[in-house]
Amino acid sequence: MREERAPETYSISLSVASGFEFVELAETVTATLARLTGFDEETAMWISMAVREAVINAIKHGNKEDRQKRVEIQYAFNHDGLSICVRDQGSGFDLSQVPNPLDPENLLKPTGRGIFYMKAFMDEVDIWSSPGGGTTVRLRKRIRPRSP
Amino acid sequence: MIRIEHRTLGDVHILDIEGRITIGEGTLHFREAVHRVIQQGGRNVLLNLAGVTHMDSSGIGELVSAYTAVGNRGGRLKLLHVPPRVREVLTITKLATVFEAFDDEAAAVESFR
Ligand SMILES: Nc1ncnc2c1ncn2[C@@H]1O[C@H](COP(=O)(O)OP(=O)(O)O)[C@@H](O)[C@H]1O
Ligand SMILES: [Mg+2]
């Protein structure tokens, strides 16, 4: 007989000043929580790399390294998977204006692959950004990807 | 953490790279190492990535910049022992076909002849 229970969801949050020295902390916490969620070592590594990209963007493009501004990282995980929200206090941006790094004219550009990188390794990446309202990036990874 | 060692085989400059090519220390040291080779007149550059454990979007960017910098001076930059994780990021960013890559050092060195 199987016990049917509502899956418990755990929430953890982290708030750091806008300094690159905290990127590693975010990476470590993410990898630990990804393993706790049930992801294998390799997947946990890719998730933590994706979160790093979001945190770096929040510090660099969002908060522009203003140490008075904070980056909030919220984790929620249950037996289905892990969801991470990275929020900054910057002035936002227009996602539709971000060039596609796979376009032939962008292929050899030194930057512009961060959001693409997140999307490649996560199941879902949602970005909410409003002028003056900061940016929130939500990254999600399911334990078992939904079949296509 | 990144560690880079420079050796030469004839006129081929090999950089043995270990650790992380990620924003900050990783990309900085990588860039310096490549520019040192260029300044020494190196034109045939082979990056041995066997020990590379992580590469983020800035690391990819740095690899592309190195490729362009060497190319702009009439040289060539190639890759050796690309580990699966690096191969993965190169593939998704459509750069796998831009870089010439080898699994055999002697063959890689010979390819510059
Ligand atoms: N949190 C953010 N706040 C403001 N702008 C952002 C943010 N994240 C991304 N951007 C914008 O989107 C662009 C693309 O980001 P990304 O794909 O990570 O590449 P890169 O960081 O290398 O420029 C950035 O150059 C920036 O203009
Ligand atoms: Mg970025």
Tell me the average pLDDT of chain A: 94
Residue A148 located in a structural domain: no
Which domains, from first to last, does chain B contain?
A: 2-110 (3.30.750.24)
Question: Given a cut of 80, is residue A4 above it in pLDDT?
Answer: no
Question: Given a cut of 90, is residue A145 above it in pLDDT?
Answer: no
Residue A1 located in a structural domain: no
- Find out whether the beta carbon of A112 lies less than 6 Å from any atom of ligand 1: yes
Our count of domains for chain A comes to: 1
At A23-41, the pLDDT tens digits run 999 999 999 999 999 999 9
Report the CATH number that the domain containing residue A128 is assigned in CATH.
Answer: 3.30.565.10
What DSSP string describes A45-95?
A: HHHHHHHHHHHHHIIIIISTT-TTSEEEEEEEEETTEEEEEEE--S----G
Residue A5 located in a structural domain: no
At A51-89, the pLDDT tens digits run 999 999 999 999 999 999 999 999 999 999 999 999 999
Please give the Cα distance from A62 to A46 (Å, whole number). Answer: 23
The ipTM value here is 0.94
- Taking contacts as CB-CB distances below 8 angstroms, the residues of chain A near B60 are 113, 117
Record the pTM. 0.94
Residue A4 located in a structural domain: no
Q: What is the pLDDT of residue A144?
A: 76
At A129-141, the pLDDT tens digits run 987 789 999 999 9
Residue A136 located in a structural domain: yes
Counting ligand 1 atoms within 8 A of each CB, the residue from A98, A102, A138 with the most, and so the one to mutate, is A98
Residue ranges making up the domain that contains A74: 10-142
A9: its two tokens: 């969801």
